[in-house]
Amino acid sequence: AHSVAYQPGKLYSFKTEGGIESTWTYTVAAEAKGTRLTAQIEYEPPTGALAKLRGDAQQRHQAEVDLVLQNLKAILDRSA
């Protein structure tokens, strides 16, 4: 993966290549007494991948999503 956009404390975006290509964009904004984190994920599954993902894809990919969010938190905490 490589970074495609970065604004300290506001935005981080990266693109993955190989396998399922995707672009992940995270934005952070102050809201009331907290912070709103918005994640936008764009991807193109390779031909035939949808057949392999039948069932509960959310559960199978939760560990990867958790790791990405932990890494994002570490990046944003460093820039704060």
pLDDT range class, residue 80, cuts 50, 70, 90 = low
Q: Output the six-digit token pair for 46.
A: 């390779």
Residue corresponding to tokens 């935005």: 11
DSSP code of residue 47: T
Nearest to 5 by CA among 36, 40, 32, 34: 40
pLDDT at 23: 95
The mean per-residue pLDDT over the stretch 67-74 comes to 85
In tens, the pLDDT along 4-48 reads 999 999 999 999 987 778 999 999 999 999 999 999 999 877 766
CA distances from 64 to 8, 9, 30, 59, 80 (A): 24, 23, 26, 10, 25
Look at residue 59 and tell me whether its pLDDT is greater than 70: no
Residue 36 CA, chain-centre distance (Å), reads 15
